[in-house]
């Protein structure tokens, strides 16, 4: 049975585990803080790989940032990782094959092959965290576009002149991310220090201002679901990330399906949590690289 | 050399011609008014097919409405065609194979195989007519979704409570269609009878109100281009339909590419005009049906 050492590289943590082609974890997941420099990250990866290199058949890397279509490197430096990280020579880190994919794409693939969207060849997985990521599966293939950067959830969805991390105003990401929920919190609590946690806590206590903030946030999410429903006609939309657990799935599924022109889709919470990126990158490497199967 | 009798079925006209697998037209394009009943349309198709049936290898139909993934029939009755048309048994019209595809998808495929997007495997073709249609090519395949209805340009892009033909408010279609330009005309001319033609005429005479209306319309189009750029990372976006000729391509291409997170795309006018649907449906039938090649 073939095994892959799979990493998930984020702005705050780097996690890794050894995974086989059935998606079984051979080791527990280890986590370390992300080093502050690109060289530090490369050194950590190299050191970890060297420990496992004899027993593995390849290295998979789920990472922040858009990844090229050859799955060898990053196109642009991700904002939450140190300068120079985008130029990392991933293949140079190991004598075994190295496969790189974006973290939202990897998480989406995990849900498609083993999770909430298992076997559904047209799937949209939205990761609702600090920002918003998307992994989009079209007829069983990951949507990558000409360069690998497809699936950016940056398009105008409202008109409140709300700044987005991409430099534009009013993108979907600015409304349905954790940052978006925090913005609703500041409005409803009339408190510039209010956070998304205040909304979640307030919901538990039936606080009307929290409910109002959450409903507005979920209204924007509904607009996003209508967009991906009409554009992609998916069998399922899966929500993952820290905010996914609070969504009212039945309600949103019903309303969205009443409003789209395309046929109804399912709306479900993701099965995989923090390990989705690692798992998906490994499974995608097995899928794409026949010699590893 | 194999030949297909190809139809384009719209709300006002039905056009047809015989086309070979190189996209060459063997007959001139004939046009007739669309009959007012579903039975009338079927009778016209059957009569026309019977004239050509001996010399052709198949029948292709480019039609309004979403078409299923088997390319045999329509999912929902299109609003601009008579009741019952959506249930037409297209295969029953001929003893030769019959292939059906949506008109915007067909037009998109024509641009991809023979037109402005030739050879560009990630292409978005937007048809800016009375409404807005999209034909989206992803890695050389038409985006159809689970049921065939993908590519609906219905998602919230602004906040003016502008009614869309789909029943929602503020969809992209409501802003970048001919109806959208007419809405801008009514605002800028302060005249509830102003039309999109008034804007186009006014532009020729440097009328400031016309310029203002057109600039707002084009601003919405820019938002739409940013959306498809970020979502699909295409090599090219092609604009077709009656409004495509008025767009400032260089300017919009430059601004959109400055604002997207993905790699730059080309923005170009479509090569094929009214015959795009017929041509694309025929070429798609040749592509999908190996026995016809």
Q: Where are the beta strands (DSSP E) in A116-180?
A: 123-128, 132-138, 141-142
Instruction: Look at residue B293 in the predicted model and tell me its pLDDT.
Output: 61
Distance CA A257, CA B147 (A): 14
Res A78 pLDDT > 90: no
Q: Indicate if B119-269 has the same CATH topology as B3-107+274-292.
A: yes
CA distance A242 to B173: 33
Residue A19: its H or E element = strand A13-20
Distance between CA B71 and CA B26 in Å, rounded?
24
- What is the spatial order of strands in the sheet that B141-142 belongs to? B141-142, B132-138, B123-128, B236-240, B266-269
Read off the pLDDT band of B79 (50, 70, 90).
confident
What architecture does CATH give domain A116-269? 2-Layer Sandwich (3.30)
Give CA–CA dist B134/B136, Å, rounded: 6
B167 with A259: Cβ contact below 8 A = yes
Does the domain formed by B119-269 have CATH 3.40.50.300?
no
CA pair distance B290, A196, nearest whole angstrom: 55
Complex ipTM: 0.96
Beta bridge partners of A8: A15, A62
Q: Return the SS3 of A1.
A: coil
What burial class does residue A82 get, using C-beta atoms within 10 Å of its C-beta: 0-12 exposed, 13-18 middle, 19+ buried? middle
The separation between the first and the last C-alpha atoms of chain B, rounded to the nearest angstrom, is 8
CA distance A43 to B80: 63
> Please, what is the angle between helix A276-288 and helix A103-114, to 10°?
80
For the stretch B44-60, pLDDT in tens is 999 999 999 999 999 99
Residue A27's CB is within 10 A of a number of other CB atoms, namely 12
Widest Cα–Cα separation across chain A: 58
Looking at residue A293, what is its pLDDT? 62
Domain A3-102+278-292 has CATH 3.40.50.2000: no
Tokens, residue A121: 């060849």
A221 φ, ψ (degrees, to nearest 5): -60, -40
Residues of A with CB under 8 A from a CB of B: 66, 75-76, 120-122, 138-139, 141, 143-159, 166-168, 223, 226-227, 230-235, 259-263, 265
By mean pLDDT, which of A3-7, A61-65, B77-81 is the weakest?
Answer: B77-81
Query: A206 CA to chain B: closest CA distance, Å?
Result: 30
Residues of A within 8 A of B139 (CB-CB) are 141, 144
Angle (nearest 5°) at CA B139 between A266 and A63: 70
The predicted pLDDT at position A267 comes to 98
Closest alpha carbon to A225 in A186, A175, A281: A175
- Show residues of chain A in contact with B235, CB under 8 Å: 146
- pLDDT tens column, B221-272: 999 999 999 999 999 999 999 999 999 999 999 999 999 999 999 999 999 9
pLDDT of residue B243: 96
CB A209 within 8 A of CB A184: no
Q: Would you give the distance in Å from CA B17 to the centre of its chain?
A: 18
Residue ranges covered by each domain of chain A:
3-102+278-292, 116-269
Superfamily of domain B3-107+274-292: ATPase, nucleotide binding domain (3.30.420.40)
Contact across the interface for A147 and B231, Cβ inside 8 Å: no
């Amino acid at each position: 049975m073939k095994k892959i050492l799979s990493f998930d590289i984020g702005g705050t943590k780097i996690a890794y585990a050894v995974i086989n082609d059935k998606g079984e974890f051979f080791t527990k997941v280890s986590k370390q803080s992300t080093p502050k420099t690109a060289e530090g990250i490369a050194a950590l990866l190299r050191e970890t790989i060297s420990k496992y290199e004899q027993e593995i058949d390849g290295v998979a890397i789920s990472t922040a940032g858009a990844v090229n279509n050859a799955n060898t490197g990053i196109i642009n430096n991700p904002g939450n990782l140190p300068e120079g990280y985008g130029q990392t020579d991933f293949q140079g880190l190991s004598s075994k094959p190295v496969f790189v994919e974006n973290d939202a794409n990897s998480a989406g693939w995990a849900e498609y092959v083993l999770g909430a969207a298992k076997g559904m060849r047209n799937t949209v997985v939205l990761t609702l965290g600090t920002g918003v990521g998307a992994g989009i599966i079209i007829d069983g293939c990951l949507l990558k576009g000409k360069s690998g950067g497809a699936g950016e959830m940056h398009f105008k969805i409202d008109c409140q002149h709300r700044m987005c991390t991409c430099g534009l105003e009013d993108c979907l990401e600015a409304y349905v991310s954790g940052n978006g929920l925090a913005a609703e919190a500041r409005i409803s609590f009339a408190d510039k220090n209010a956070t998304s946690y205040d909304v979640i806590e307030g919901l538990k206590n039936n606080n009307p201002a929290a409910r109002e903030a959450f409903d507005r946030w979920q209204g924007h999410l509904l607009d996003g679901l209508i967009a991906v429903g009409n554009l992609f006609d998916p069998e399922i939309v899966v929500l993952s990330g820290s905010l996914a657990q609070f969504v009212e799935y039945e309600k949103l599924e019903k309303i969205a399906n009443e409003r789209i022109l395309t046929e109804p889709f399912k709306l479900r919470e993701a099965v995989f949590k923090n390990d989705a990126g690692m798992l998906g990158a490994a499974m995608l490497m097995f899928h794409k690289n026949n010699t590893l199967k």
